[in-house]
Amino acid sequence: MAELVFIGTGSGKVSLNRFHSSFLISTSRYNLLIDAGDGISKALLAGEINFSSIDGILITHLHPDHYTGLAALIVQMKMCERKKHLDIFINTKLANVIQKFIINSYLFPERMGFTINYKSYINDELFKVNNEISFIPRQNSHLAPVSGLEKYKLQSFSCSSFLLNIENKKIHYTGDIGSKDDLLLFSDNTIDYLISEVTHIKPDDILNSYPNDALPQKIILTHITDEDINNLKEFIVNLQVDLKEKFILAYDGLKIAL
């Protein structure tokens, strides 16, 4: 049976209560880590997740709370004398940046002891990790505010939301988004679980984005800023009973069986 393990549930603002946003999809055959921001190695250590158990890492976008811990985590894997290859799933538009980041961290293939397999995904194309896990990435508007600057026009502003299919359960993972409109990116599907960030949107936006009878079974709120926690708790407490049962406020270490 597959399980989600929330490694970090904080926002981009550093906190003593939460690591930056990241979760592990654990199936019988594969462990896929979603995002590896600043401090991910310590977050995994705190969550008692063995570095060697991670088969692949998927990066959603290049804000530091989502990717800058990647090289440091690979160093830890090397120190643990990892032999098993590591998959890195990255948007084809960002693949160069990530490969350079790893090489510029002096992580040379000849001295690693294990192989890194870079696997590029393309927005709107189904990507099969294996028979149990697949996903469709889709560009969202998270980086739209910074993408218009002429000076940086050669830079990629790829930032994806994901429709994950894990052992036939459909999960919409928003990743970081730009506005409530991004909640509708996969509205042509029936979603079992929604994992939504709540830094750039309000939880009310989720309720307003779905017809009441079409809300996902479970709605997990993550990417939480300390300042927002009381408002989020209050939002859930004030929901009517059937809605209250759907919402889960994520915390570091939360495990959800799918």
Q: Map residues 165-204 to x or -, x wherever contact with Zn ion holds by CB under 5 A.
A: -----------x----------------------------
Q: Which is closer to Zn ion, CB of 18 or CB of 63? A: 63
Within 88-147, which residues bind Zn ion (CB under 5 A)? none
Q: Find the shortest distance in angstroms from Cβ 139 to Zn ion.
A: 13
Contact 198, 223 (CB under 8 A): yes
Contact 137, 162 (CB under 8 A): yes
Binding segment for Zn ion (CB under 5 A), chosen from 5-13, 89-97, 110-118, 123-131, is: 5-13
Torsion, Cα 154 122 4 238, to 10 degrees, reads 70
CB proximity list for 150: less than 8 A, separation 6 or greater: none
Q: Does 65 bind Zn ion (CB under 5 A)?
A: yes
Q: Which is closer to Zn ion, CB of 200 or CB of 246? A: 200
Binding segment for Zn ion (CB under 5 A), chosen from 10-18, 78-86, 104-112, 120-128, is: 10-18
Q: Find the shortest distance in angstroms from Cβ 177 to Zn ion.
A: 9
Q: Which is closer to Zn ion, CB of 72 or CB of 144? A: 144
Binding segment for Zn ion (CB under 5 A), chosen from 9-17, 99-107, 131-139, 185-193, is: 9-17
* DSSP one-letter code for 10: B
Per CB under 5 A, the list member of 7, 10, 63, 158 interacting with Zn ion is 63
Task: Identify the helix (H) or strand (E) that includes residue 103.
Answer: helix 95-104
Bridge partner residues of 86 (DSSP): 116
Binding segment for Zn ion (CB under 5 A), chosen from 58-66, 102-110, 129-137, 231-239, is: 58-66
Q: Find the shortest distance in angstroms from Cβ 95 to Zn ion.
A: 19
Closest to 170 (Cα-Cα) out of 158, 187, 156: 187
Per CB under 5 A, the list member of 3, 12, 72, 99 interacting with Zn ion is 12
What is the maximum alpha-carbon separation in the chain? 58
Q: Does 253 bind Zn ion (CB under 5 A)?
A: no
Task: Identify the helix (H) or strand (E) that includes residue 255.
Answer: strand 255-257
DSSP readout, 49-95?
--GGG--EEE----SHHHHTTHHHHHHHHHHTT--S-EEEEEETTTH
Q: Does 18 bind Zn ion (CB under 5 A)?
A: no
Site for Zn ion, rule CB under 5 A: 12, 63, 65, 176
